Amino acid sequence: MKVLGIISSDKKLNRMINTTFDKWEEKSYRPVFISSEDDINEFINYELPEIIVINFSDPNIELTSLIKRLEEDSWLHYFGIIGLYDQEITDEDK
Give the strand order in the sheet containing 2-7: 29-34, 2-7, 51-55, 80-84
What is the structure's pLDDT at 19? 92
pLDDT in tens, 21-74: 888 877 788 899 999 999 998 998 888 788 899 999 999 998 888 888 888 888
Give the SS3 label for residue 89.
coil
Strand partners, 4: 31, 51
Angular region, 83: left φ>0, alpha ψ -120 to 50, beta rest = beta
Instruction: Specify the pairing of strand 80-84 against strand 29-34.
Output: unpaired
What is the structure's pLDDT at 30? 86
What is the structure's pLDDT at 52? 92
Report pTM. Answer: 0.83
